[in-house]
Amino acid sequence: MALLSKFEQITMSRNSIHEEIESTYSVFEHDGQKFIQIDSYGRPERKIPGKKSQTFQLDKKGGRLLFDILNDTFHFK
């Protein structure tokens, strides 16, 4: 599990599109602060299907940074 609060852009020499997997998100409060948690579950063929594979959390600061990255990339309106 990781709380993401900063992002650094890098240039990768090799890029590939990954396989689509199941994911969920939840919104919760802790000590009066809101968080979003995103969980991924990996491929259905894995040894323990349905087991969480990766989890990351965003607070308001990390959410704003990710929102700006997404907006700059995809030009949301």
Q: Over the stretch 5-22, which tens digit does the pLDDT of each residue have?
A: 999 999 999 999 998 999
In a domain, 52, yes or no: yes
**What percent of the chain has a predicted confidence (pLDDT) above 70?**
100
In a domain, 16, yes or no: no
Contacts for 3 with CB less than 8 Å, ≥ 6 apart:
35, 56, 57, 58, 59, 62
pLDDT at residue 44 is higher than 80:
no
Mean pLDDT of the chain: 94
In a domain, 27, yes or no: yes
In a domain, 9, yes or no: no
In a domain, 56, yes or no: yes
- Which residue range forms the structural domain that includes residue 33? 22-77
In a domain, 11, yes or no: no
In a domain, 5, yes or no: no
In a domain, 40, yes or no: yes
pLDDT of the residue at 17: 95
